[in-house]
Structure 1
Amino acid sequence: MHASKPFSLRIFVADGDPDGLRVVERSNWVGKALIFPRALLPRVKQREELAYTGVYLLLGPREDGDGEMLYIGEGDPVRPRLEDHYAKKDFWNRAVCFVAPGQLNKAHVQFLESNLVRLAKAAKRVPLDNANNPAEPSLSEPDRADMLVFLENMLGMLPVLGVHAFEQAVAVPVAGHTMLTCRSKGITATGYESTQGFVVKAGSQAVATVTPSMQEHMSRLLDERQVLIENGVLQKNGEHYVVTQDYVFSSPSTAASVLLGCSSNGRVAWKDAQGTTLKALQEAEAAH
């Protein structure tokens, strides 16, 4: 659903502080995004945009401190919902709100919230703080079409704004990127480089146990592997695990290390059909 056409964003840094309130508008679109740290809510809530109906994301560190978690909500209007979360919800430290003054009603934002929760759960990139699956409301055919466009525009903007929770791996590599294979420790995995990171293909294998060295010295990778097991991206199948969906890792080395259960240099572990390492392929490309 992500936008595939070029677009431009206009980012207004409202206080002159790049880490403060930013108001983001997209070319030829009525919606706008407000991004701000939690600490600024007492001041930001006075802005007229938050008096409108909208959908919002709250982001902050997971309880284990490794990576982010996400809460998705809607408000009619947005301001009292954010005030309630400011008082009662602990984890978040930044908010992203989408509004379209005079254009959205309660059913519209319930539709957006429901689809954002669905997409985040399907991507499995970031755990959700949401306790339930909000039902998608019934919309008229024109309203549904309008909200699908609104959703598509949001999804196109969010990665540019540093939010990757809704991105699923693209089905094919970027043109010119080679399909690569990692064979070691009795497992076989395939993947490729993409603009999002390193994509490991569904059906790839991972070892059943990790090395003592990973347990002692690589807690971040161990935690990432455990999260993938818990959310079903890695599923036990006989003597090994199987990757159940195309999944984006931050780098070739992270992908190889998680799959092999040990420290691994992904630029050497991943090879093309001729046995040429990713490192050698990149060196050859750089030389042209």
Structure 2
Amino acid sequence: MPKPFSLKIFVATGDPDGLRIVERSNWIGRAVVFPRPLLTTIKQREEFAQTGVYLLLGPRPDGDGEMVYIGEGDPVKPRLESHFSNKDFWTKAVFFVAGAGQLNKAHVQFLESQLIQRAKDAKRMRLENIKAENEPTLSESDRADMLVFLDHMLSMLPVLGVSAFELAHATEINQANTTVLRCTGKGLNALGYESNQGFVVKENSQASANITSSMREQMHGIVDLRQDLIDNEVLRRVGENYVFQQDYSFSSPSTAAAIILGRSANGRTEWKDETGRTLKALQTQQAGLP
């Protein structure tokens, strides 16, 4: 079970959307978060002269959703300066550093390779990296230290608004307060449940191989997401339908239902429990409303 932790956020420029330095309780690392336009005015800060691993985030070329680029630098400053000149897509950067001498080149190469692999596994956000980086060889103790560093990074990133590495946790479905719901139609059968990460559709759930013309014409974001899921093999064609190859977390039950049914869908009425009660009815009951 995840352990509680606290974060200290220093808004260095006085602007909540500007430069933020984020520290976690009882941890040597720190995160630096800033919008792209600020790079030229803040790059002289000491954090930019340190060895670290970074994420560049921005809108996809089709305008729907975000994409991410993962890199490392020893130090990070020249790498970010290069991307400022040569990569157009990114609008925000997040990088992690530690105290002097705490991270070296091999450490951040290891963190970079781990983050790239986890982003590929999660398939939550388009990855701008063209190729995977080879994982360097670390001593047993260094590897153990970097896995702890990685875990702290991964726990902080969702708080910082980065969901690229979040996997749907199968253990959640075993919790006492988790209700398994079903979405059906056109001979399809899908299982899902609400989680802190969104609405999770379970592995082996079915999805329609076809979409309606109105969905294709009016719901471009859903259509693009569906194609991404197919391209990334989250959805694989099995017989007449697609089948989820892993648990996958959607932003809402309606998005999940639309992907499954191939049409516009209200997830609060399409998802039902084993007695036929809709998600809307369950939420109303849980809220104590008449």
The TM-score by the shorter chain falls in which range? over 0.9
SS in 2 for 1:287: coil
Q: How far apart in 2 are the matches of 1:5 and 1:89?
A: 37
Q: How far apart in 2 are the matches of 1:124 and 1:44?
A: 32
CA displacement, residues 59-108 of structure 1 (integer Å, 9 cap, x when unaligned): 00111010000000000010000000001111101100100022000000
Q: How far apart in 1 are the matches of 2:176 and 2:266?
A: 24
Deviation at 1:185, TM superposition (A): 1.3
- Most deviating of 167-176 and 245-254: 167-176
Q: Give every structure 1 segment of 4 or more consecutive aligned residues whose post-TM-superposition deviation is greater than 3 Å.
A: none
SS in 1 for 2:145: helix
Contact 1:36 1:95 in 2 (8 A): yes
Letter in 1 for 2:166: E
Q: How far apart in 2 are the matches of 1:180 and 1:133?
A: 37
- TM-score of the aligned structures, taking structure 1 as reference length: 0.98
Residues 1:198 and 2:199 are matched in the alignment: yes
Contact 1:35 1:94 in 2 (8 A): yes
CA displacement, residues 228-257 of structure 1 (integer Å, 9 cap, x when unaligned): 111111111111100110000011111001
Q: How far apart in 1 are the matches of 2:137 and 2:51?
A: 18
1:5-84 alignment, distance < 5 Å: 5-84=3-82
Letter in 2 for 1:42: T
Residues 1:227 and 2:204 are matched in the alignment: no
Residues 1:168 and 2:176 are matched in the alignment: no
- Most deviating of 68-77 and 273-282: 273-282
CA displacement, residues 85-139 of structure 1 (integer Å, 9 cap, x when unaligned): 0011111011001000220000000000000000000000001110111111111
Letter in 1 for 2:160: L
Task: Return 5+ residue gaps in structure 1 as ranges.
Answer: none
Letter in 1 for 2:213: P
Q: How far apart in 1 are the matches of 2:151 and 2:108?
A: 14
CA displacement, residues 142-194 of structure 1 (integer Å, 9 cap, x when unaligned): 11111000000000000000000000001133540200111111100000000
Letter in 2 for 1:110: Q
Deviation at 1:52, TM superposition (A): 0.6
Q: How far apart in 1 are the matches of 2:181 and 2:46?
A: 51
Partner residue of 1:247?
248
Q: How far apart in 2 are the matches of 1:65 and 1:286?
A: 36
Q: How far apart in 2 are the matches of 1:157 and 1:41?
A: 22
Contact 1:124 1:165 in 2 (8 A): yes
Residues 1:129 and 2:128 are matched in the alignment: yes
Partner residue of 1:266?
267
Contact 1:267 1:279 in 2 (8 A): yes
Partner residue of 2:104?
105
Q: How far apart in 2 are the matches of 1:252 and 1:183?
A: 13
RMSD (Å), alpha carbons = 1.0
SS in 2 for 1:145: helix
Q: How far apart in 1 are the matches of 2:176 and 2:125?
A: 27
Partner residue of 2:149?
150
Task: Return 5+ residue gaps in structure 2 as ranges.
Answer: none
Identify which of 89, 92, 98 aligns with 1:91.
89
Contact 1:252 1:267 in 2 (8 A): yes
Partner residue of 1:275?
276
Letter in 1 for 2:125: V
Letter in 2 for 1:68: E
Q: How far apart in 1 are the matches of 2:124 and 2:104?
A: 29
Deviation at 1:226, TM superposition (A): 1.1
Number of residues paired by the alignment?
286
Deviation at 1:6, TM superposition (A): 0.3
Identity %: 65
Partner residue of 1:183?
184
Contact 1:49 1:101 in 2 (8 A): no
